[in-house]
Amino acid sequence: MTRIDPVTAAVIQGGLDTIALEMGHKLMRMSYSSIIRESEDFGAALTDATGRQLCECRLSTPLQSGPIPGYVRNILSTLEARGETLNEGDVIMHNDPYGGASHGPDVAFAVPVFHEGTLVGWSVTTAHHLDIGALSPGSCGIVDAVDTYAEGLQFKAIKVYDAGRRVDPVWHILRANIRAPELVVGDMEAQVKASHIGAQGMLALIAQHGLTTLQAAADDLMDYSERRLRAAISALPDGDYSASTQIDGFLDDPDPGRSNLTICATVKVRGDALTVDLTGTAPQVPDKPINMPLVGTVDCAVWLTVRSILLDAAVVGPVPQNEGLTRPITIVAPLGCLANPIFPAPVIARFCSGNALADTVMKALALAVPQQVSAGIGNLRVVALSGLNHGNHWVHMEIMEGSYGGRFGKDGMDAVDTLYANTRNNPVEDIESHVPLRIERYELREESMAPGAWRGGIGTIREFRFLADAGFSIEGDGHAHAPWGFQGGSDGHTASLTLVAADGTVRALPSKVPYARVKAGDRLIAVGPSGGGYGDASLRATALVARDVADGLISAATALRDFGVTIHKDGTGERV
Amino acid sequence: MITVGVDVGGTFTDLVLANMQTAQQVIHKVPTTPGDPSVGVLQGVSELCALARVTPSEVRYVLHGTTTATNAVLEHKGAKTGLITNDGFRDILHIARHQRVEHYSIQQDLPWQARPLIERAHRKTVPCRLISPDGAELVPLDEEAVRRAARELAVEGVESVAICFLFSYLNPAHEDRAAAIVRAEMPGAFVTTSSSLSPQFREFERFTTAALSAFIGPKVGSYVAALDAALKQIGVTGELRIMSSNGGVATARMVTEKPALTLMSGLAAGVLGGGWVGDQAGRNRLITFDIGGTSADIGIINDGQIVETDARSTSIAGFPLLMPMLDIHTIGAGGGSIAYVDEGGAFRVGPQSAGASPGPAAYGRGGDLPTVTDANIVLGRLMPGDFLGGAMKLDATAAERVIATLAARLGLPLLDTAEGVLTILNANMANAIRSRTLQKGIDPRGFALVAMGGAGPLHAAEVAAMLAIPEVIVPPFPGITSAMGLLVTDLKYDAVRTLFQTSGQFNLSRINADLAAMQNHLAGRFAADRIAPDAVSYARIGDLRYVGQGYELKVPIPNGSVDDASMAQVLDAFHAAHAAEYGHAFPQNPVEVVNLRVVGRGAMPRLTPGRAAPGGSLELALIRHSNTVFRVSGTLASYPTAIYQRASLPLSQPFSGPAIILQKDTTTAVPPGWQAEVHPAGSLILTQKVLP
């Protein structure tokens, strides 16, 4: 039963979306660091007073907006435990990875929205900051943090504005403990502004429709999204669908407990609900930061994957992103496993494990809905490059794309962010104009296409040359385990990283490299993964194979070997 | 002097002839001929001249809005195109910004991969490399490799080539040299360089702009040449000028060289027309709002200036376009938008449209889905016997039947359902306007809404009310505002250069040299187009941002030689613009000048002010009374409503809503609580009497 008429619900949904869009639009335009403005690694959302998500900005990245409800709930419980009161004009900073945050660098600025003296909602932005004061420069590739304390500053529901008054000491502490404070604090100030814009928008919506109507509409809209997902789950045959994958972990670590770690997911479909049970996933790594916060990373990875497959936006159109989409899903993760670590196990480099978890959930769901998934995705790699220039830190972060597996009826997407990440690369012309790096190559890998009726997506090759002495660190995965092929398609291709020193020495690197120094003239070569193939390669249309050859993606010899297709002089193909 | 404006739309080709001396204006409409639009244009021009009793040879200018380029991209029917780029960067067009279009989708298509402008087979790489900050040569251009690439492309049957090198915006030498080689190797091919179109940083966007240009180049070139020749054949000796996306016109030669200029040709003319109408009514803060059958186009004019997009918000069919364009926002909302109840029980309107065929159920062409037009009929706002001046009868029974079916699904009464369709559509449009204004720090409440298109005047007052906009302007001929807009533009050419200089370290001689070089370049273009130098004016603009930011704001640069004082003015203007757009500024932070721009305008003869015909009265205009349904203060009710004929309305005499005003090309709804009057310049002005 709905609480208000469907016309008002539609009007309010449009109003909420417009507010969230404006928050994100202004945040990305005001912010300073490329990780926010170019990569779009930020979130913007409104919630009700208790943290139930009402809407999110469609420009934001899923792993940023998705955790916002968790941030709010933890802010509320932390303040209550401390006996602190919430006032109109407060702005609260929070980044506790064991309190809703995805990891420490993703700092939220939350503005409580008061209407006639009562808390009625929250306007929140999150963003990935370039530096959060961890043991080495940058906020990615901190792969040697031994515990949460080593990952940087932890803010647990800290007021940075108290009843409208700026709490200067907090900002002084921030500036003193973060590298590149101009950039980072500038971005944080932009976040505060954008959160205020959302709060004003919410109040305007209340003024327009009345609080009771808005709340009723919000409840109806959540019910609506829930209903859509439940209907999609109901269409699946009841049953348990299990899959597992492996992540690299730390391939160069002599301790076998730190490499080739299993992620296991069983999707248990029962009527219109499902449980994602992660039992079987490897134990946490107590002193390496690839553990995944259950709230803030694991839950977002699961929600995103289920929704992207069962309510695929390209197939069913837009469905409001709100709390309703989480209600039909229960997540089970044994305490102390990679997907539910125990404080203070470090988590800062949880990005790749979380995306692999999303891929594993897709692999399990593939058994239920084989035509709605892709074959295995190629995971990402995040690199921080940094140096000192006349006493000032420069830090550049780059998220290096993966690729999708083949799909039923379609090839995989090439060279793209996958699953819960959806950031943007930095233009070569921007990078070289602002930091001492030269990009010498950025193109598709050739001869690395997973065969299938619909081929896997193809990864990239990027080559960076350092023009000055510098440092770099990397968190990535997928060096040891190729993306899975599906329905007879072949497995994809693994990623690799190579450091070529100016003197010609070549060094193969593992997928995780803590802060390391490099010299001017050294080159870093990053080869990205290619997704798995879908369906039997012998079923691939000969015209498509011929096009792949014409496009230089594979040679004629490969076409014959992998697809059984001979390429004639005129470029046409024939199956032998 | 006689000027003709011809705007080719999806269904109709609209024409206006204006004699700038006698203020004679004649309008005409012919069906668009999609196979070859020039057929309809010629027919229209011939008929229009006959109607106006002028001979074609008297026409000094034919100003043309065309969708040839737009359609070639939307339908992905362009030339077989090739690319020559740097070694190591073959796939910039394919990797794009490595971002998916949809967050939550496995089955989505990425436009640049699913519908590539240039297939990988035709993307060739050659050794060469320039570097920042000044475009110095790191690796020389391998001319032999360029020659080889051109020969390969020729063998592959490529008709059009884009030449795109990294950092060419700093130094076009390699691109220019490669273009010369390719032209020599591939005579007859269309050849363009990325730096000649848009010398700005961000390689994917610049390369894609060049690729789009090459993709549509041969088609646009042959269309313009054929049209030019055909116009001469019917005796038009005047010049053909084509509307550009930047809100100016360009010569046929310019458009042939830079076809991407015309990707927003038709839409730009609409905003100009709306601006002119507002100007005639003495308003210079306007939101133009053009609703047709399937979409609504929204433009903004702030203090007389048409708002342009920033370089990062412009795209067509999912491809970014790095060229100066008016900020026109299109949403899928129009008279044909289909209302439905989705699988989850939500009430939605659009973006799917019944279009013109089968069209709304009331058209009686087999449409059986409820549309916005059907809802307007059920509410009594559209008159079944008076549509298109009575030329087309609408089937009110069919409209009621489809809305009743929808009502049954929703469990709502018939009239609530019909009104709900309009409210949802209007809210979608109000949100679109809100996002285009508030996001830029513009408060829509100080603006007037200019209602255009066949359906704009039906919805405008209610959309305005949602935004607390107090005033709506309905032009004399809302259906042909785009054609009118063609007659109020100037020749407008843009030049841009990326600078990357930071406050405190400005290199004034470089800035002055760049500005002078750009102005000289434009002066050369105008001279080549035979525009007298004293008819040309120049404006200078900087794209600025705080160091570290990724989005720039446009700020005027004072005339004359740039010195420390003028740069201080530029910085002040930037802080003010930042405060206006985002709500705050950081005056202590360093500022980066990213791009310099020069805009040249060659003055063109302009349409003379319109005049409303005197002598009307409300009694003369009144056709009848009938009942119409509106929601007022939350209550839905039927109101006895005066139905007027627009042409007979009196000047400057306000009358109250509810009222419906009929004319051939549109119907205007004046809701209860609003009043209307005819402005001496011919527009209807609707004002809200009591703001809720």
Using one digit for the tens of pLDDT, what is the confidence trace for B230-288?
999 999 989 999 999 989 999 999 999 999 999 988 888 999 999 999 999 999 999 99
Closest CB from B113, B166, B169 relative to A414? B113
Closest CB from B94, B106, B205 relative to A312? B106
Q: Considering only CA atoms, which of A228, A235, A206, A421 is closest in space to residue A320?
A: A228
CA distance A353 to A349: 8
pTM: 0.93
Give the minimum alpha-carbon distance from A41 to chain B in angstroms, rounded to a whole number: 11
pLDDT on residue A379: 96
Q: Do B169 and A429 touch (CB under 8 A)?
A: yes
Q: Which residues of chain A have pLDDT under 50?
A: none
Are the C-beta atoms of residues A450 and A558 closer than 8 Å to each other? no
CA distance A68 to B394: 51
Q: Which residues of chain B have pLDDT under 50?
A: 691-692
CA distance B93 to A211: 48
Are the C-beta atoms of residues A502 and A426 closer than 8 Å to each other? no
Nearest CA in chain A to B90: A443
Q: Do A427 and B204 touch (CB under 8 A)?
A: yes
Q: Do A311 and B344 touch (CB under 8 A)?
A: no
Write the DSSP string, A152-188. Answer: ----SSEEEEETTEE-HHHHHHHHHHSSSHHHHHHHH
Best mutation target, A3, A7, A307, A321, to test chain B (most B CBs within 10 A)? A7
CB of B423 less than 8 A from some CB of A? yes
Are the C-beta atoms of residues B578 and B585 closer than 8 Å to each other? yes
Task: Give the pair of three-digit tokens for residue B252.
Answer: 């046929």
Q: Do B89 and A428 touch (CB under 8 A)?
A: yes
Are the C-beta atoms of residues B407 and B413 closer than 8 Å to each other? yes
ipTM over 0.90: yes
CB of B347 less than 8 A from some CB of A? yes
pLDDT on residue B692: 43
Closest CB from B110, B169, B346 relative to A10? B346
Nearest CA in chain A to B111: A413
CA distance A118 to A492: 55
* Parallel, antiparallel or unpaired: strands B59-65 and B129-131: unpaired
CB of B104 less than 8 A from some CB of A? yes
pLDDT on residue A390: 77
CB of B551 less than 8 A from some CB of A? yes
Q: Left if phi > 0, otherwise alpha if psi is -120 to 50, otherwise beta: which for B184? A: alpha
Helix axes A211-234, A299-310, angle to 10 degrees: 70
CA distance B548 to A57: 23
Helix (H) or strand (E) holding A406: none
Burial of B22 (0-12, 13-18, 19+ CB in 10 A): exposed
Using DSSP, state whether A78 is helix, strand or coil: helix
> Who contacts A220 (Cβ-Cβ below 8 Å, separation ≥6)?
A2, A3, A4, A9
Q: Do A18 and B434 touch (CB under 8 A)?
A: yes
Best mutation target, B106, B500, B501, B588, to test chain A (most A CBs within 10 A)? B106
Are the C-beta atoms of residues A504 and A377 closer than 8 Å to each other? no
Q: Do A231 and B103 touch (CB under 8 A)?
A: no
Give the minimum alpha-carbon distance from B297 to chain A in angstroms, rounded to a whole number: 18
Q: Do A547 and B121 touch (CB under 8 A)?
A: yes
- Mark which residues 115-174 of B lie under 8 Å from A by CB: 119-121, 131-133, 166-167, 169
Give the minimum alpha-carbon distance from B238 to chain A in angstroms, rounded to a whole number: 44
CA distance B98 to B259: 27
CA distance B567 to A510: 50
Closest CB from A197, A424, A428 relative to B166? A428
Q: What are phi and psi of A50, to 5 degrees?
A: -95, 0
Give the minimum alpha-carbon distance from A73 to chain B in angstroms, rounded to a whole number: 25
Task: Give the pair of three-digit tokens for residue A58.
Answer: 């469609």
Which amino acid is it at B603? A
Burial of B385 (0-12, 13-18, 19+ CB in 10 A): exposed
Helix axes A351-365, A299-310, angle to 10 degrees: 40
Give the minimum alpha-carbon distance from B537 to chain A in angstroms, rounded to a whole number: 32
CB of B339 less than 8 A from some CB of A? no
If you count residue pairs, one on A and one on B, with CB atoms under 8 Å apart, how many are there?
A: 223
